[in-house]
A and B are shown apart, each in its own frame.
Chain A
Amino acid sequence: MARDKHANEMSFDPVAGASQTDWSLIGDVAAGTEESERARAALIERYWPAVYAFVRKSGRDVHDAADLTQGFVVDVMIRRRLFEGADQSRGRFRTFLLRALKNYLRERHRYDTRRRRSDEGRRPVRFSEAALAEMEVRSARTPEAAFAAQWSVGLVRRVLDAVRDHCTRDGLESHWIVFESRVVRPMLHGEDPVPYDALIERLDLDDASQASNMMITVKRRFARELRDEVGRTVPDPVFIEDELNALLRDLETPL
């Protein structure tokens, strides 16, 4: 992992491939067309943070966790064609990916070659210092919770991106600003919600009831989009509730 050497040129795009669903990207990979490598790269960008979070929470230090994540990407996602082996009819992609990761870590532990991964000149994952620092693994109680948290971060960010675009498209920029100020920034950055009085003045609104209803309008869009996004990672929409509850269980797993 050439983290130091490449730190300045590396980047992290949390919404890579956001316009496509997991399963449509996986389908593109499996199709073996000229779009395949682009789709594979998008999937890797989308899911390596969750892989890293699991490995890191499993007790590895930052360098080993990054090394193992890189190894999983190269050895399993690329060489062993992980995405080509995914089958939508057999359950959640998240579960499939986590199972493959656990197998890989057991395998690496068993054979523990201690050699640095050779990626044959390819470096499909661009780890930036900022991205590594941003991922919160300390607060997670278990590796599964860390994986679920990072997976959920990816989901939430893709959905927020889509909702913001839709609000702009529909002329609801002020609605988005209220939602962002009251919900998004507190949720993602731990900031205090902007007081309604400040938003009323800034956006020239009538009163707090108007502002709160604007916020609720976007929150509802967000919830709907989130359900849709989760629906794209399960074999059938009927499993959306199960998947949401499973994510919640993983996030809230007690020690």
Chain B
Amino acid sequence: MNGDTANNLSHALRWALESGTDPAMASANWLAQEIDPQHAGAVALLADRDITLARLMDAKDAFKTMRVLGETSGDRRLAARLYLGAIAAAISYHGVRISGQSADSVIGRLEDMIEDPDAPAELRHIAGEARERIDQDGWSNMPRRATG
């Protein structure tokens, strides 16, 4: 055990506290911290208007995987929202598509999330902004960046 004992142990104890409150969100937050430790969690990461496109692509990939591998249906449902949130943030902040999905599919899912009372308010807001940006720029005029 090195000199950072108390700090390191505090982290471990906080994981136990976080997972007790909301296990799905705790997992998503831990994933977000792997992508960018400067942010407190997944929603904060996506709500940061200064986030780079590369970070958003990493987030999209991570939440896409969690959407498949999530331990519970709650994990997978949250991951699906965050996955869409990353796509929406790329559109809203950078005017770039990072998904290969069709315009109809993305627009339909954004509109669903805007109306989804169970989705975090910040994600609903990002979805609304993305929807407006699509109307403003035009889907076909937005460049597409491929992800893994």
Contact = CB atoms under 8 A, between A and B. Distances in A.
Interface of A: 134-136, 138-141, 145, 149, 152-153, 156, 186-190, 207-210, 212-213, 215-217, 219-220, 222-224, 226-227, 230, 240-241, 244-245, 247-248, 251-252
B20 A227 contact: yes
B15 A189 contact: no
Given A135-B1, A190-B4, A227-B16, A213 B10 contact: no
B66 interface: yes
B31 A248 contact: no
Contacts of A227: 16, 19-20
9 contacts: A141-B6, A145-B6, A152-B9, A156-B12, A187-B8, A190-B4, A223-B26, A227-B16, A240-B20
B30 A140 contact: no
**Taking chain B's interface residues, is the majority helix, strand, or loop, or is none over half, making it mixed?**
helix
B23 A251 contact: no
Contacts, number: 112
Interface string B32-54: 00110000000000000000000
A226 B69 CA distance: 22
A112 to B, nearest CB: 31
A215 B66 CA distance: 11
A172 to B, nearest CB: 12
A141 B18 CA distance: 25
Nearest to B72: A220
Nearest to B63: A209
B81 to A, nearest CB: 16
A241 B10 contact: no
Contacts of B14: 248
Contact of B11 (A149, A187, A190, A245): A187
Contacts of A208: 58, 61-62
Nearest first, the 6 A-B pairs at minimum CB distance are A190-B2, A223-B19, A209-B61, A226-B16, A209-B65, A136-B5
A215 B32 CA distance: 12
A224 B61 CA distance: 26
Nearest to A226: B16
Contacts of A209: 58, 61-62, 64-65, 148
Given A208-B58, A224-B19, A189 B9 contact: no
B117 interface: no
Contact of A139 (B5, B16, B69, B71): B5
Given A209-B61, A226-B12, A153 B5 contact: yes
Contact of A189 (B2, B20, B27, B65): B2
B13 interface: yes
Contacts of A224: 16, 19, 23
Contacts of A215: 34
Contacts of A213: 31, 62, 65-66, 69
A136 B5 CA distance: 7
Contact of A212 (B6, B11, B31, B71): B31
